Structure 1
Amino acid sequence: MTKTLVVTNDFPPRPGGIQAFVHNLAARRPEGSVVVYAPAWKGAAAFDAAQPFPVVRHPTSLMVPEPSVLRRAGEILAAEGCDSVLFGAAAPLGLLAPALRRRGAGRLVGVTHGHEAGWASLPVARGLLRRIGDGVDTLTYLGEYTRSRMARALSPRAAARMARLAPGVDETVFRAGAGGDEIRARHGLTGRPVVVCVSRLVPRKGQDALVHAWPRVLRAVPDAALLLVGGGPYRAELERLAADRGVAGSVVFTGSVPWEELPAHYDAGDVFAMPCRTRRGGLDVEGLGIVYLEASATGLPVVAGDSGGAPDAVLDGETGVVVRGRSVPDVAAALVDLLTDPGRARKMGARGREWVEREWRWGIQAERLGALLGR
């Protein structure tokens, strides 16, 4: 059995989507087949003690491809008898690949997310990404958007070796009936049509487009409510916008919620919407959008923006609709269509649940990773 050293800057208890992605991959490896090397973080000791695999923490909260990180990774590789390395985010730690190969790693896999696609468009970063691709055996990609963006920066040989590996969804956790009634009652939303958005509050995610669209939604569905789940630096601006648009009474901000309550917050909605859009000339872009799939698993129709790889997480017209994230009329029309046609909304939600069960379960992603590491 192959034993894998996971070298990653992104790992719990630090919060975030990449962190959850890497942890879920590690947790689904066979017993005794993985060891993780990750930065220090508040609460790490308690978190690490609960894991079914050893976690070695770097002294600082950031790891970069420099001699001390290489030395420690090499020591762990030898001490634990690892024969493969998985970089939790290929950029930038994947630059260590050639040196770790010289230290005994027989197979090296770099996982990519969204930021590597941004690297592919910047001259210096593009060269570094090409070096990473040549140094590992396989670079993974989330979907067709990120694959095509990165492939242009890679050597032909590295591009040919790319393989798809996306985050999975725990369909036993994200499901209809996961506690939405309690969340609705908590926020005074019982009996009202609810559009829910679960995401960090930052401009790219498009919560402002939802607020701008909300007066149009209320004209068609007067008792509708918008439930914005998550914290972030954009909250104060969004609250001002809701007040300016005269819709503050029907927009609920939950702030950050514990991970274990996320399934219930999805379940509190009738429609899920996150009309994300690309910013900063393509550097700030959605890599995939696992929230759309978590919503689909919960049985909700989704309204997705057209940023980057977000459309890869939606079967447009079947599990939801893809709209121009910068178009308030398009966002409003999609929301109104789904809120006023509950039969269509239920059909899309059911199709989304079926799609997640067939294509996006964590077990499927774990099998893909096992094949990449075992080649």
Structure 2
Amino acid sequence: MNKKILIVTSEFPPQPGGIGYHAFHVAEQLQMHGYGVTVLADQRSKSGEEEMDFDKSLKFGVKRVTWKSIRMFMYLNRLILLFRLIKSNEVVLASGKFSLWMVAFVSLFYKKKYLAVIHGSEVNFKKQLLKKSVESALKQFSTIIAVSQYTESLISHLNLNTIVIPNGYDTKKWRTEIQAYQNLKGYPKLMTLGNVTTRKGQLQVIKHLPKLLEYYPEIQYHCVGLPTEAKGFSQVAVDLGVDKQVHFHGRLEDTKLQAMLMAMDVFVMLSKETETGDVEGFGMALMEANALGIPTIGSKGCGIEDAILDGKSGCLVAAESVSEFQEALYNILELPEVFKAEAKLWAETHTWEEIIKQYIRHMEI
């Protein structure tokens, strides 16, 4: 099993982004299974030092497109690099909208096995020109891998060879010696991890707090992640009189994140589709919380439906329904140990060690 595979991705660590970490874990696992792996990705920091240090630690090759202030030069260099790299690889996997366009174009010149991974937003554009361009690109791939049933449904009308392979979680992410923070007050304690944006749903949780306070007067809500829209959301909390219950922590390194997450009663992600079509394709943070035994509450109508085993690892609710949220929270808090055990069992079925077997099966067909 010595096939060479090229992974073309629009994001890649050490910079944040779910698509990037998905590509990283696929690359890492394929390398461990004997594949020759090369990743083509952009340098996203100006100096490139972060990427250089990170890439040195990897057991597979990473080719970076050097950062340029004029983006068109980066697009051109990326295409040139792709033409060079594709010649020596048998399988090409594209992830992220720019990667889909590029690889689809290059596929016109080289006969390879082409696979695309779709996460959600890149196949849900509201502007017809963007939507049609992505759909046209997808038709050049032999297999489309959707990360959730919801994501698959977004392209069902195209009648392409589509399969669903859920995201995996990294068993190395959490460390066994980390202890939960003991000084966090309140009950219940809720957390959302992710970029503070409309899509991730922090604002929706804040809007539910006035009603939840009637039943849980000590409730506290913690938001961890890039504070993109935190200022505006904070003002909403003030206007609703719940500013003392809402805490924005910004980005946290993994040990601090784990200690805080372990102190939570419930992990929450009430994701909503934005006006531009940006949508949650799966919700890997939910699975990572489950791995620590933290039950989850997530929204229906997006990829989160695949990330929660409803009534077992957590509960699915309509994002805007405070009554459904209240009921879900009550059910979890009534049986915390049962939900904790089920959450861990659910996470164990989604480790990358298990998920990668599905990728390999379809690459070998």
| TM bracket (short chain) | 0.7 to 0.9
Give the partner amino acid of 2:41.
A
Equivalent position of 1:286 in the other structure: 280
Q: Is the 8 A contact 1:108 1:373 kept in 2?
A: no
Instruction: Give the 5 Å matches for 1:186-205.
Output: 188-189=184-185, 192-205=187-200
Alpha-carbon distance change, 88 to 261 in structure 1, aligned in 2, over 3 angstroms: farther
Name the residue aligned to 1:170: 170
Find out whether 1:54 has 2:61 as its counterpart: yes
- Kept in 1, the 8 Å contact 2:213–2:219? The answer is yes
Aligned match of 2:297: 303
Instruction: Tell me how far 1:192 sits from its aligned partner.
Output: 4.4
Would the aligned equivalents of 1:13 and 1:41 in 2 still touch at CA under 8 Å?
Answer: no
Equivalent of 1:77 in 86, 95, 111: 86
Residue from 305, 316, 319 that aligns with 2:313: 319
**For 1:278 and 1:98, how far apart are their aligned partners in 2?**
27
Q: Where is the helix percentage greater, Structure 1 or Structure 2?
A: 1
Mapped partners of 2:52, 2:316: distance in 1: 42
The structure-2 alpha-carbon separation of the partners of 1:94 and 1:192, relative to structure 1 and needing over 3 Å to count, comes to: closer
1:202-234, Cα deviation, whole Å (9 max, x unpaired): 112221222222233333233332222222222
Say if 2:10 and 2:19, in contact at 8 Å, map to a contact too: no
User: Any idea what SS the aligned residue of 1:135 has?
Assistant: coil
| 1:269 CA displacement | 0.6
1:37 aligned partner: 40
Does the 8 A contact of 1:228 with 1:253 survive in 2? yes
**Paired residue for 2:340?**
349
Q: Residue 229 in 1 paired to residue 224 in 2?
A: yes
Conserved 8 A contact 1:10-1:19 = yes
Question: Structure 2: how far apart are the matches of 1:108 and 1:260?
Answer: 38
How far apart are residue 354 of structure 1 and its match? 0.8
Choose which of 137, 140, 156 in structure 2 pairs with 1:135.
Answer: 140
Read off the aligned partner of 1:86 and give its amino acid letter.
L
The alpha-carbon deviation at position 24 of structure 1 amounts to: 1.0
Q: Does structure 2 retain, via aligned residues, the 8 Å contact 1:94–1:110? A: yes
Residue 125 of structure 1 corresponds to 130
1:181 matched to 2:180? The reply is: yes
1:220 to 211, 215, 218: 215
Which stretch shows the higher mean deviation, 142-151 or 282-291?
A: 282-291
Post-superposition offset of 1:181? 2.1
SS at match of 2:30: coil
C-alpha distance in 1, partners of 2:94/2:72?
12
CA contact (8 A) 1:198 1:291 kept: yes
Aligned residue runs from structure 1 range 71-110, under 5 A: 71-78=80-87, 81-89=88-96, 91-97=97-103, 100-101=106-107, 104-110=110-116
* The 10-residue stretch of structure 1 (27-36 or 290-299) with the greater mean CA deviation from structure 2: 27-36
Q: Give the TM-score normalised by structure 2.
A: 0.88
- State the shift of 1:63 in Å: 8.1
Match of 1:328 among 322, 326, 351: 322
CA contact (8 A) 2:65 2:77 kept: no
Question: Normalising by the residue count of structure 1, what TM-score does the alignment of the two structures yield?
Answer: 0.86
Greater mean alpha carbon deviation, residues 201-210 or residues 60-69: 60-69
Find the partner of 2:155 among 127, 133, 150. 150
Q: Which residue of 1 aligns with 2:15?
A: 14
Asked whether the equivalents of residues 275 and 331 of structure 1 are also in contact (C-alpha less than 8 Å), the reply is no
Percent identity reads 25
Gaps of 5+ in 2: none
Q: 1:105 offset after TM fit, Å?
A: 5.0
**Aligned AA for 1:5?**
L
Equivalent position amino acid for 1:179 in 2: I
Structure 1 residues 67 and 16: CA distance shift in structure 2, 3 A: closer
* SS of equivalent to 2:39: strand
Are the counterparts in 2 of residues 180 and 266 from structure 1 also a CA contact under 8 Å? no
> What secondary structure is seen at the aligned counterpart in 2 of 1:269?
coil
The answer to whether residue 249 in structure 2 is matched with residue 254 in structure 1 is: yes
Consecutive unaligned residues of structure 1, counting only runs of 5 or more, are none
Q: Deviations over 1:154-200 (max 9, x none)?
A: 2x3xx2x212223211245448x663523x43xx43x7431122121
Taking the aligned partners of 1:303 and 1:112, their CA distance within structure 2 comes to 24
Distance 1:96 1:239, change over 3 A: closer
Per-residue CA deviation, residues 127-173 of structure 1 (Å, 9 max, x unaligned), is: 32332222111111011111111121x2x3xx2x2122232112454
